[in-house]
């Protein structure tokens, strides 16, 4: 069998950052994935870069939450502090930041809720998402990645970034983000469970690929530099269809639940971790992903180093 070596520069490693000191909290149901405080994050990133990985995707675990996600766009929040610190210490790392509200709002939804209702106000949400992205850009993020599934989030962010001269800050749109069961372990990691209802009003219906392709095309038009399909494994057809229709890079997010299944399978002795991870990531790339965001990235890099 032809064994393709996964190229490390095509992988993105997600990282959770949290206020505190000396933290290295393992995420329940995601063995091997931790929440770091600033002081433990830096040695972690040193390891990551020494292993040959080039990109990280930052998620913040919010200290303060309110109705409007105020702390998400404050310069002193943990994500912004992390960007500044990483950029101070490391010259060659690409920082991508998740731009969303679910971890910063008391209701745990990805947008601003209309007063007296349970419905998301898209227009208000766009304003806040753009402010979050601007703050990330100011602190030195290379890419901002809106994941709220608010309509026209890419153009709202592009417009504000350009207004402040951040022409070089790029946008990775979570363009086709499905309403999926596979995000469950992530919500524990980021403490971002919705307090009522679910995300089906703004995330895509998995019975079809039509909306996904429409959203991808519209994000391309709005100025996205990378578009994404999420999750990856149950959506290889969507990846393939999207790839055939665009010329900009396509990312696929191999999400938390996909990771947990592999890890628990390994614990139960169902398969060899290295073999199954190689099969999964290679399949996602075969389907058409140019970039794969995966919690397995560090392990993959480690295995390659030992080879």
Please identify, using beta-carbon distances, which residue of 40 and 254 lies nearer to ligand PBG.
254
Residue 176 near residue 238 (C-beta atoms within 8 A)? yes
Please identify, using beta-carbon distances, which residue of 183 and 235 lies nearer to ligand PBG.
183
Distance of alpha carbon 129 from alpha carbon 158, whole angstroms: 11
Please identify, using beta-carbon distances, which residue of 107 and 199 lies nearer to ligand PBG.
199
Minimal distance, residue 256 CB to ligand PBG, in Å = 3
Minimal distance, residue 51 CB to ligand PBG, in Å = 20
Please identify, using beta-carbon distances, which residue of 110 and 281 lies nearer to ligand PBG.
110
Minimal distance, residue 282 CB to ligand PBG, in Å = 20
Strand partners, 265: none
Please identify, using beta-carbon distances, which residue of 160 and 293 lies nearer to ligand PBG.
293
Residues that bind ligand PBG (CB under 6 A): 98, 100, 102, 110, 147, 183, 186-187, 192, 199, 255-256
Minimal distance, residue 61 CB to ligand PBG, in Å = 12
Minimal distance, residue 138 CB to ligand PBG, in Å = 21
Residues 6 or more apart whose CB falls under 8 angstroms from that of 167 comprise 161
Residue 97 tokens read as: 């930041």
Catalytically active residues, by annotation? 177, 230
Helix and strand numbers (H, E) in the chain are 10, 10
List Cα–Cα distances, 48 to 26, 69, 159, 298, in angstroms: 17, 31, 33, 7
Nearest-CA neighbor of 110 among 213, 30, 201?
201
Minimal distance, residue 102 CB to ligand PBG, in Å = 5
Residues 6 or more apart whose CB falls under 8 angstroms from that of 293 comprise 11, 12, 13, 14, 57, 228, 251, 252, 253, 254
Residue 119 tokens read as: 């419905």
In the chain, at which residue ranges do the beta strands (DSSP E only) sit?
11-18, 24-26, 34-36, 55-61, 94-99, 143-146, 170-177, 226-230, 250-254, 291-294
Nearest-CA neighbor of 194 among 108, 91, 284?
108
Please identify, using beta-carbon distances, which residue of 69 and 288 lies nearer to ligand PBG.
69
């Amino acid at each position: 069998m032809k064994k393709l070596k996964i190229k490390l520069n095509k992988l993105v490693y997600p990282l959770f950052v949290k206020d505190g000191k000396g933290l290295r909290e393992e995420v329940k149901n995601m063995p091997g994935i931790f929440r770091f405080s600033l002081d433990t994050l830096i040695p972690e990133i040193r390891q990551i870069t020494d292993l040959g990985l080039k990109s990280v995707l930052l998620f913040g675990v919010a200290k303060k939450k309110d109705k409007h996600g105020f702390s998400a766009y404050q310069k002193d929040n943990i994500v912004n502090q992390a960007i500044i610190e990483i950029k101070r210490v490391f010259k060659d790392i690409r920082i991508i930041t998740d731009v969303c509200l679910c971890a910063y709002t008391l209701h745990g939804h990805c947008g601003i809720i209309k007063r007296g209702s349970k419905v998301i106000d898209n227009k208000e949400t766009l304003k806040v998402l753009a402010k979050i992205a601007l703050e990330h850009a100011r602190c030195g993020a290379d890419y901002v990645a809106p994941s709220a599934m608010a309509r026209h989030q890419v153009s709202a962010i592009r417009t504000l970034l350009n207004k402040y001269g951040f022409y070089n800050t790029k946008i990775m749109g979570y363009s086709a983000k499905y309403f999926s069961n596979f995000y469950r372990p992530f919500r524990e990691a980021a403490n971002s469970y919705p307090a009522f209802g679910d995300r089906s009003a703004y995330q895509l219906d998995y019975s079809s690929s039509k909306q996904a392709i429409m959203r991808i095309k519209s994000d391309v038009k709005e100025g996205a530099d990378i578009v994404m399909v999420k999750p990856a494994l149950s959506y290889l057809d969507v990846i393939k269809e999207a790839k055939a229709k665009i010329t900009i890079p396509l990312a696929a997010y191999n999400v938390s639940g996909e990771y947990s299944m592999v890890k628990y399978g390994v614990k139960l002795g169902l398969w060899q971790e290295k073999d199954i991870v190689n099969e999964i990531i290679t399949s996602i790339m075969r389907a058409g992903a140019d970039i794969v965001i995966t919690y397995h990235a560090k392990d993959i890099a480690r295995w390659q180093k030992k080879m």
